[in-house]
């Protein structure tokens, strides 16, 4: 008997066998001694749940509404760079897979396919997408990318806030092969300083991005501290993503399962959405995240493994399978809808991850 529809560890092993070692290591690695990378995964498994019973779970609905869009699943695709390292079709294939599963796709600014080409495939499959922004040293260049994404149909911007400088990863290799054609497909010929990360970001940049984009909602990614969540809410953020960048930025940053309850409490009642990523690998992990107050979750590496192994179909199968595993876990926990998961107070008090409500 297979326990679940999806086995991410098996997908990862298959991807490792397929990919050149430097590409695999770029996808898999974390910063420093990879303490946060490892802890992210284990922390979800320490969230113990008190299932609810006698609640008529004959119809369980995994659908959500996210910033005005209807999605079939709360499992979303996190922005990750350089998909052509994993598959020749790159982001176009990933986006198609997400759209086919009814899942939100977030396109990274480090896309190796043109924004407009990714948008076209999403359009063709009725997909919803957001555009992730690294504010670059050259603000005008950043603004130009944002305007292109808005014109192409992005429904929101994701401002990555945890990368004022890029984390040092010991697994990064000089032999990683990203051609200039891939690296600069959206930027054109720019000098490296122009595209370097801006280290002087503040909460004022939330408003700047909203304005530059002609009024798109701005979601801030990389929030771990509840005081930062409060500051983002005050600055008009439409949402925050509790994230430590998959353990690729500050090593020893706390696992997202531990950070989530306090951030959810800080944003509670504000109308600002709370989402989470980092180490989520199973339908049960997703249920735990929803129980701790996330309205949606994002997956990074599992999507890259699925892309490498199976292109668009592989991505669609991963997201559909995880959603079916979530649906099964929701029935066992007594939750009929995604918003209900948080209301049922499933996360056991007195244990790691308690909600405190
Ligand atoms: C290979 C790789 C590339 C990434 N590139 C980006 C990026 O371009 N922009 C961004 O905001 N986050 C990026 N991230 C972070 C992801 O959005 C996400 O926070 C993280 O992968 C979630 O953890 P998980 O991989 O354990 O699911 C990247 C992560 C990985 C693994």
pLDDT for 177: 87
- Read off φ and ψ for residue 299, nearest 5 degrees: -120, 130
pLDDT for 357: 44
* Contacts of the segment 164-170: beta carbons below 8 A, 24+ positions apart: 164/197, 164/198, 164/199, 164/201, 165/197, 165/199, 166/197, 167/30, 167/31, 167/32, 167/245, 167/248, 167/249, 167/250, 167/251, 168/31, 168/32, 169/29, 169/30, 169/31, 169/248, 170/29, 170/32
Whether 308 and 95 have beta carbons less than 8 Å apart is answered as no
Give ligand 1 pocket residues (Cβ under 6 A): 26-27, 40, 78-81, 108, 110, 132, 160, 221, 243, 245-246, 248, 277-280, 299-301
- 177 burial class (0-12, 13-18, 19+ CB within 10 angstroms)? exposed
Per residue in 131-148, pLDDT (tens digit) is: 999 999 999 999 999 999
| 313-327: average pLDDT | 98
Ligand 1 atom nearest residue 132's Cα: 11
Task: Name the residue of 26, 28, 79 to mutate for ligand 1: max ligand atoms within 8 A of Cβ.
Answer: 79
Of residues 248, 204, 283, 318, the one with CA closest to residue 80:
248
pLDDT for 352: 56
Ligand 1 atom nearest residue 106's Cα: 17
Above 90 in pLDDT, residue 355? Answer: no
Average pLDDT over all residues of the chain: 96
Max avg pLDDT among 187-196, 320-329, 346-355: 320-329
Interatomic CA distance for residues 83 and 10, integer angstroms: 20
Ligand 1 atom nearest residue 37's Cα: 26
268 is catalytic: no
| 5-19: average pLDDT | 97
| 345-351: average pLDDT | 73
Above 60 in pLDDT, residue 183? Answer: yes
Would you call 322 helix, strand, or coil by DSSP? helix
| 105-120: average pLDDT | 98
Above 70 in pLDDT, residue 152? Answer: yes
pLDDT for 9: 98
Per residue in 39-54, pLDDT (tens digit) is: 999 999 999 999 999 9
Q: What is the pTM of this model?
A: 0.97
pLDDT band at 3; cut points 50, 70, 90 = confident
pLDDT for 353: 52
Above 80 in pLDDT, residue 10? Answer: yes
pLDDT band at 356; cut points 50, 70, 90 = very low
Task: Name the residue of 300, 305, 308, 319 to mutate for ligand 1: max ligand atoms within 8 A of Cβ.
Answer: 300
Q: Calculate what percentage of the chain has a pLDDT beyond 70.
A: 97
Per residue in 250-299, pLDDT (tens digit) is: 999 999 999 999 999 999 999 999 999 999 999 999 999 999 999 999 99
Lowest-pLDDT choice from 77-81, 94-98, 201-205, 344-348: 344-348
Interatomic CA distance for residues 272 and 90, integer angstroms: 32
| 63-83: average pLDDT | 98
Q: Calculate what percentage of the chain has a pLDDT beyond 90.
A: 95
pLDDT for 229: 98
Chain centroid offset of residue 293 CA: 16
């Amino acid at each position: 008997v297979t326990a679940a529809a999806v086995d991410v560890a098996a997908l990862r092993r298959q991807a490792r066998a397929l990919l050149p070692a430097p590409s695999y290591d770029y996808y898999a690695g974390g910063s420093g001694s990879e303490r946060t990378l490892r802890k992210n995964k284990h922390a979800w498994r320490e969230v113990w749940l008190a299932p609810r019973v006698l609640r008529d779970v004959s119809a369980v609905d995994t659908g959500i509404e996210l910033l005005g869009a209807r999605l079939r699943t709360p499992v979303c695709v996190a922005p990750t760079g350089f998909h052509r390292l994993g598959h020749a079709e790159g982001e176009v294939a990933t986006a198609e897979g997400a759209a086919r599963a009814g899942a939100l796709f977030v396109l990274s600014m480090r896309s190796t396919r043109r924004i407009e080409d990714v948008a076209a495939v999403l359009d063709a499959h009725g997909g919803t997408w957001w555009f992730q922004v690294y504010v670059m040293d050259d603000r005008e260049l950043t603004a130009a990318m944002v305007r292109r994404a808005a014109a192409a149909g992005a429904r929101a911007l994701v401002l990555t806030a945890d990368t004022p400088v890029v984390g040092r990863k010991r697994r990064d290799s000089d032999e990683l092969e990203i051609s200039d054609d891939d690296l600069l497909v959206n930027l054109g010929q720019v000098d490296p300083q122009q595209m370097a990360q801006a280290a002087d970001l503040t909460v004022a940049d939330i408003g700047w991005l909203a304005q530059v984009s002609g009024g798109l909602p701005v979601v801030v990614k990389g929030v771990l501290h509840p005081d930062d969540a409060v500051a983002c809410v005050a600055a008009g953020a439409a949402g925050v993503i509790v994230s430590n960048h998959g353990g690729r930025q500050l090593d020893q940053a706390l696992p997202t399962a531990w950070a989530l309850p306090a951030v959810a409490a800080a944003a509670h009642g504000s109308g600002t959405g709370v989402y989470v990523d980092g180490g989520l690998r199973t339908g049960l992990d997703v249920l735990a995240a929803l129980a701790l107050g996330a309205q949606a979750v994002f997956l990074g590496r599992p999507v890259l493994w699925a892309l490498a192994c199976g292109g668009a179909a592989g991505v669609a199968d991963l997201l559909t399978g995880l959603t079916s595993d979530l649906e099964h876990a929701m029935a066992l926990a007594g939750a009929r809808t995604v918003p209900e998961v948080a209301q049922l107070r499933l996360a056991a008090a007195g244990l790691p991850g308690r909600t405190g409500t």
